[in-house]
Structures are given as C-alpha cells and as structure tokens.
Structure 1
C-alpha cells in the first residue's frame, strides 16, 4: 500500500509547478509603479511603487504567494528577487524556490 503524500509534499508540488525553468525567464520591471493582475491584488493596495522598499516587499510577497506561473514571469524581476530574497525567504515558503534556483540560495548565504 502506497503512503499518502504529506501536506508539505503537496504544497511543494503545487509551488514547483508554478515556477519558471530559470530566473532568467522573469521579465518584471525593476523600477516604477506597478499594478498586479486583479486576481493577485483584489483588496487593499492595487498599485505598488517598486522604488519604495515596503511597497516593493509587499508586492513581491503577494506575487510569490498567490501568483500563477505567468504572473511570476510577468511581475517579478530577477535582480530584485535575488536582492529581496534574504528577507522574503523568512516570510514565505522558501524550500521549493531555493531548491529550484541556485541564485536564491547563494543570495541567502551572501547575506549571512
């Protein structure tokens, strides 16, 4: 009899399906004001100034937590994600992303 996958295994599989193959696929802006799709920012703030540290962090948390594959590619910038990762990793499920992208694991080690 096969064992049932754990909730963390199911969560990991769900997140892995949403990830692009490489961080280089991310094509989001680095500066300026952005408005994520309505299915991501449907209540509260609907625009975020990426030049404001708190708003940038909020935007990245929302996109990483709720975004679909295409949202991640369209909304996230690889350089910003790497620079924000040491803080973001404490706020969201990080194991799948760090396992998938060496750049994120390295940014964490450099910040330590």
Structure 2
C-alpha cells in the first residue's frame, strides 16, 4: 500500500507557540527573513507598515517552524493584523492559532465589519480600474 506525503499543515500545532508571550520578534524597523522562509521575491520587510507586515506575517506562519514564528512575530503586532491575516492563511493554521489564542478570534470578530468594508472598497476600486481599461 502506497503512503502519501504528509500534508503541509499536518504539523501546524507544533508550529504555534504555547503563549503569545513567546513571540519575541521586532516591533519596529526592517526585518530580513532567512532564505528558508523567503526563497524568492521580497525578503526585507518593514514591520512598521501594516500592509508590509501583513505579508511578512503570512509568510512566517505559512512557511516557518516554531523557532521562526517566535523569532519574527510580535504579539501586539500580530493582534493588530490578525483580522486581515486570518483571511490569508490556511484554514488549518487559522483554526490552530484561534483555538490556542481565543483573543485573536475575539479581536477578529470585533473588527469584522471594518475588514468587510475594506474588502468592498478594494473590490470597487478593482472594478473601476477594469472599467477604465475598457
């Protein structure tokens, strides 16, 4: 009987810290992610820019091991981006993070209307640009 490869998120529980206090990443400045996290494209991120931080946090959660997560993420900044970040990461990762840290899920619920409004504005802007291009 053939055995398949393990799923990418089979080990997600071991890649989530036990406590948000274990996150000791920078809260300001630029961060150069190691090649094993970013092997192509952008590697240096300004964590002071919420949009740039969102991309960096997505990469670290998707690609990183526990040591990467603890070294590159900051608890306060994670909380700030979580309402948007949770939409960008795999459902298994989202479920594990929110199960372990209910405050993340609560914060996302508190900001759900704001995030939905941002998405509507973005969709409208894309539609307007498409109409202009015609």
Normalised-by-shorter TM-score class: 0.7 to 0.9
Runs of 4 or more, structure 1, over 4 Å off, are none
- The separation in 2 between residues aligned to 1:101 and 1:19, in whole angstroms, is 10
Q: Aligned-pair RMSD on alpha carbons? A: 1.7
Query: What's the CA shift for 1:52?
Result: 2.1
1:83 to 76, 80, 85: 80
The answer on whether the counterparts of 2:16 and 2:96 sit within 8 Å (CA) in structure 1 is no
- The separation in 1 between residues aligned to 2:21 and 2:106, in whole angstroms, is 15
SS in 1 for 2:11: helix
- The separation in 2 between residues aligned to 1:55 and 1:21, in whole angstroms, is 26
Aligned to 1:46: 43
Aligned to 2:104: 104
**How many equivalent residue pairs?**
104
The answer on whether the counterparts of 2:20 and 2:75 sit within 8 Å (CA) in structure 1 is yes
- The separation in 2 between residues aligned to 1:34 and 1:84, in whole angstroms, is 17
Q: Output the TM-score relative to the length of structure 1.
A: 0.85
- Bigger radius of gyration among the two: 2
Structure 2: runs of 5+ lacking an equivalent: 1-5, 113-134
Structure 1: runs of 5+ lacking an equivalent: 1-6
